[in-house]
Amino acid sequence: MKTVCIIQARMGSTRFPNKVMREITGVPMIGLLLERVNEAKLVDQIVVATSNLPENKSLVKYVNELGYSIYEGSEQDVLDRYYQAALLNGADNVVRITGDCPLIDSALIDEVIGRFKQAQVEYASNISPPTYPDGLDTEVFTFKALEQAWKEAKEPQQREHVTPFIRESGLFSQINIAGEADLSRNRWTVDEPEDFEVIQKVYEKFYPDHLFGWRNILNLSNDDPDVFKPNQHLIRNEGAEMCTGQKLYKRAKKVIPGGTMLLSKRPEMFLPEQWPSYFSKSKGCSVWDLDDKKYIDMSIMGIGTNILGYGHPEVDEAVIETVKNGNMSTFSCPEEVYLAEKLIEIHPWADMVRFARAGGEINSIAIRIARAATGKDKIAICGYHGWHDWYLSTNLNDDKNLDGHLLPGLEPKGVPRGLTGTTLPFNYNDIEQLEHIIESNSGQIAAIKMEVSRNEGPENNFLQKVRELATKNDIVLIFDECTSGFRETFGGLHKKFGVEPDIAIFAKALGNGYAISACIGRKEFMQAAQNTFISSTFWTERIGPTAALKTLEIMEREKSWEKITHTGKNIGERWKTLAQKYELPLDINGLPALIGFSFRLQNMLKYKTLITQEMLKKGILAATSVYVCTEHKQPIIDKYFDALDPIFALIKECEQGRSIDDLLEGPVCHSGFKRLN
């Protein structure tokens, strides 16, 4: 009976790439592991099973040089990799060791194999439940059991982790080898950089001996516990429960401040420790995570970037053609002229246009132009206008100044104190407050910068009165339409209310997922851009204007703003109906195409977390707002509400005494900013 030890190892670890070839005391980690396994007397052959991806070439070369057998198979289907490796090498019994266990003990391997043979079972291990330190995991099973699992295991987790079907199906006889004491909290494996730090120190303590036993390591942990401190916060087998995206996010937080480029995409904002975090592809209103699991996006759709849905074929085709023809050159691209003309056609009050690629920077461009045109410095603001110093300086006097403008409690660290008092906030629909600001800063206000509408619409001719104040006091009126643009009209939301600004800015939806932003305005103000410095290399690339031109063409043809407004209103009405069914106090907020809801309940944040948690299980990304796109067809909306109904029922139960904390499977989502953009 041939016993083959198969060691799974690859270079593409999500949490700690290339770990198996990282050197410890001058030897690659996989080399040390092989040296230790080779001491096992009951193992007839050792095979390293890796994936057939090119990134594993250095591993394959090294293992071959050491003289060990190697099999290259499926990256994701590790069960198939084991089966094929065992079949190819004529195994009767298989020992499973993972490449992240460089402290594996040959004596312990022999003990598990011996007990397996003595008991004549189909599966034996020291992990069910574990009592040995994490990193000494050893499993032994018959080839017949492996073959049956290979044929019958269907779940992705069963295929990825090899033995769950054997251990959990109840079809196979098995035993567990337990230690004299429970040492399972000791962590001697390598999943994270902190683990590697511990293993390095252990080998350095015993150098040049590579074959020290596990009891020697245990004695070291008692004599010198500081060696083992770096990874004590990590949890055993955490990776088995984490999806690939969660693993990558842990890695991201070590190299990217905050973990993401956009605070609103932090997993903590949705479902801490459970959110898939990263996408492999997106199409229509569906998103696939890194494990190729598909979700319907009934959430914020890229933070409002894709009114026509993800990957619209016509937009993508236009972009691909641009890529083929060239995205950049010494010359400017003609599309920027065509796009400027189109935006002026849509907004006849405007005469000129400047482009950028993001919402924050186009906001800053508008402010620079207004200041250059008027020779004045101060800005009156209402709403959210990005991350630049001019805006965040609002909170230099009082970090609560932006509480009513979607950034509650923000500390403006890094913003020069010299900007104090240059940006002055006023509340929406409060014309008296704006009048007071203008009177108190007579002749100093360059611009009134505001969103046309947020959670509420204008009352008592508010926008008309703002327009009159701006004109009367020679102040530039800037409408920030980065979010509201093209949601309810073909162009800016200001068209709905019949109030024309001096400058308007657009971003988000303008390129249907491709980066493009625009500042349009009257010639008398826009010409001031020539008297200051507003210039950037990548504002001249070609993809953004190409995407915007095609996006506008499709929007105009399909009247996309009418579709998404109708869908959003329908969603709002069905939320109300559902809330009435379960007697929950619910408020609707936002434009119909950016619709959201909240409960007037103490545990609102926990209920939001519960909604996301339970909807995720059903393959739907959801919280308390929906950024509607044209791909949100009726069957998708129906599926969403079918899934949401029982969750509202759960919330009702919680309001009647059931513990919400018992229902939550992880931390509560962060409250963060009032709006996710």
Tens digits of residue pLDDT in 273-294:
999 999 999 999 999 999 899 9
Q: How far apart are the first and last CA of the chain?
A: 63
| pLDDT tens digits for range 228-265 | 988 887 766 555 567 889 889 988 988 998 899 998 89
pTM: 0.74
Candidate from 10-24, 402-416, 567-581 with smallest mean pLDDT? 402-416
What is residue 398's predicted lDDT score, i.e. its pLDDT?
A: 62
| pLDDT of res. 470 | 98
- Report which of 132, 135, 56, 40 is spatially closest to residue 93, judged by C-alpha positions: 40
**What CATH topology corresponds to 333-558?**
Aspartate Aminotransferase; domain 2 (3.40.640)
Residue 400 has what pLDDT?
56
If you average pLDDT over residues 517-535, what whole number do you get? 95
Q: What's the CA gap between 538 and 544, in Å, rounded?
A: 10
Q: What are the domain boundaries of the chain?
A: 3-231, 244-308+561-663, 333-558
| 433-459 tens-digit pLDDT | 999 999 999 999 999 999 999 788 999
Residues with Cβ within 8 Å of residue 386, at least 6 apart in sequence: 359, 360, 361, 363, 364, 482
- For strand 139-142 and strand 286-289, is the pairing parallel, antiparallel, or unpaired? unpaired
Residue 409 has pLDDT above 60, yes or no: no
Report yes or no: 295 and 287 within 8 Å, Cβ to Cβ: yes
CA-CA distance, 90 to 570, in Å (whole number)? 63
pLDDT at 240: 58
More confidently predicted of 519 and 231:
519
**Residue among 354, 359, 384, 392 at smallest CA distance from 370:** 354
For the chain, give percent helix, strand, coil, nearest 5. 45, 15, 40
- Rg of the chain, C-alpha, whole Å: 31
**342-366 pLDDT, tens digit each:** 999 999 999 999 999 999 999 999 9
62 contacts 84 by C-beta, under 8 angstroms: no
In this predicted structure, the answer to whether residue 51 has a pLDDT above a threshold of 70 is yes
Per-residue pLDDT, 633: 98
Which of 123-132, 153-162, 384-393, 659-668 shows the lowest mean pLDDT across its residues? 384-393
For the 244-308+561-663 domain, the top CATH level (class) is alpha beta
Check pLDDT > 90 for residue 319. Answer: yes
Domain 3-231's class?
alpha beta
Q: Which regions of 458-578 does DSSP assign to beta strands (E)?
A: 476-480, 503-506, 517-521
Residue range 545-566: average pLDDT? 99
So what's the pLDDT on residue 676? 31
Query: What pLDDT is stored for residue 317 in this prediction?
Result: 98
Mean pLDDT of the chain: 94
How large is the average pLDDT for residues 466-475? Answer: 98
Low-confidence winner among 36-45, 333-342, 396-405, 407-416 (lowest mean pLDDT): 396-405
Higher pLDDT, 148 or 399: 148
- Give the residue-averaged pLDDT of 145-174: 95
pLDDT attached to residue 94: 98
| 673: pLDDT strictly greater than 70 | no
- Give pLDDT, residue 137: 96
Span 174-190, average pLDDT: 93
Q: Which two tokens stand for residue 39?
A: 């001491």
Higher per-residue confidence, 410 vs 60: 60
